[in-house]
Amino acid sequence: MANATLNASARAETGKGAARKIRQAGSIPAVIYGHNREPQSLVLNSRETEKLVKTIPVSSTVIELSIDGKTARTLIREIQRHPFKRTILHIDFQELVAGETVTVKCPIVYVGTPEGVRLEGGILDQIMHELTIQADPSNIPNHIDVDVSGVKLGKSLHVSDLTLPAGIKVMDDAGSTVCVVAPPKVQADAADAAEPELIRKAKPDDEK
């Protein structure tokens, strides 16, 4: 499980005007919500926050959020960014409660070289790059390893084929394709070139 820390301050003012003033002051407005707590408005240091989100898998990292000296374990649920500058405009945090499972997106790491690539020159097409999983907050993995070493040319792995850590439930459709070993491009081009050209027999009117 990936963990990180971030400092925050509570704020009393809410609304678009207050959020605009916070951004003009070089900070980021945020909110924390969760089970049995009222949503609380926060202020984050812009530089510290931007640096953090660039170095972590945002959706699956548990953030120890220090709010005026009190700590809350959270997940980032939404990051709003400026459409052009891509700077962070607002962040939503969800407070985690022990014993309650959460749904997060977890990165896939492909392990090994497929048999179809090693022996037949195939190409591994990584269709899925993350899985939607349900887990206890204390059991969220940094990533899910997917062993592709036994995949042959023309074969694929589906969600139902994956071996997952204990306590992890995948929410994606079991029949979804995770990856496939496709024929080499040269071979595919050659197959296209081998298609016979259809020559239309001239009709009597054409001959005239």
CATH top-level class of 2-95? mainly beta
Residue 66's alpha-carbon distances to 55, 95, 107, in angstroms, are 19, 12, 26
Structure-derived torsion over alpha carbons of residues 37, 42, 45, 47, reported in degrees to the nearest 10: 80
Over the chain, what is the mean pLDDT?
86
More confident residue, 2 or 45: 45
Q: Residue 189: pLDDT above 60?
A: no
Q: What is the DSSP letter of 23?
A: H
Given a cut of 80, whether residue 190 has pLDDT beyond it is no
pLDDT classification of 6: cutoffs 50, 70, 90: very high
Strands 130-135 and 169-170: antiparallel
pLDDT band at 1 (very low <50, low <70, confident <90, very high): low
Residues 72, 18 contacting (CB under 8 angstroms):
no
CA-to-CA distance for 137 and 3, rounded, in angstroms? Answer: 11
pLDDT of residue 207: 47
Sheet strands (E) in the chain: 2-10, 27-34, 37-45, 61-67, 70-81, 88-95, 102-111, 123-126, 130-135, 144-147, 156-158, 169-170, 177-182
| 156-158 and 123-126 strand pairing | unpaired
Q: pLDDT grade, residue 34 (50/70/90)? A: confident
What's the topology of domain 102-193?
Answer: RNA Polymerase Alpha Subunit; Chain A, domain 2 (2.170.120)
8-state DSSP, 35: T
Nearest 10 degrees: Cα torsion 39, 40, 43, 49: -50
Alpha-carbon distance values, 106 to 77, 143, 165 (Å): 13, 6, 12
* Model confidence band, residue 42 (pLDDT cutoffs 50, 70, 90): very high
Lowest-confidence region among 38-52, 75-89, 157-171, 175-189? 175-189
DSSP 8-state symbol, 175: T
pLDDT of residue 133: 94
Residue 84 has what pLDDT?
87
Minimum mean pLDDT among 69-73, 124-128, 158-162: which range? 69-73
The domain limits of the chain are: 2-95, 102-193
Residue 201 has pLDDT above 60, yes or no: no
| Confidence bin at 186 (pLDDT 50/70/90) | low
**What are 93's two structure tokens?**
């945090």
Q: Which residue has the higher pLDDT, 28 or 2?
A: 28
The whole-model pTM stands at 0.71
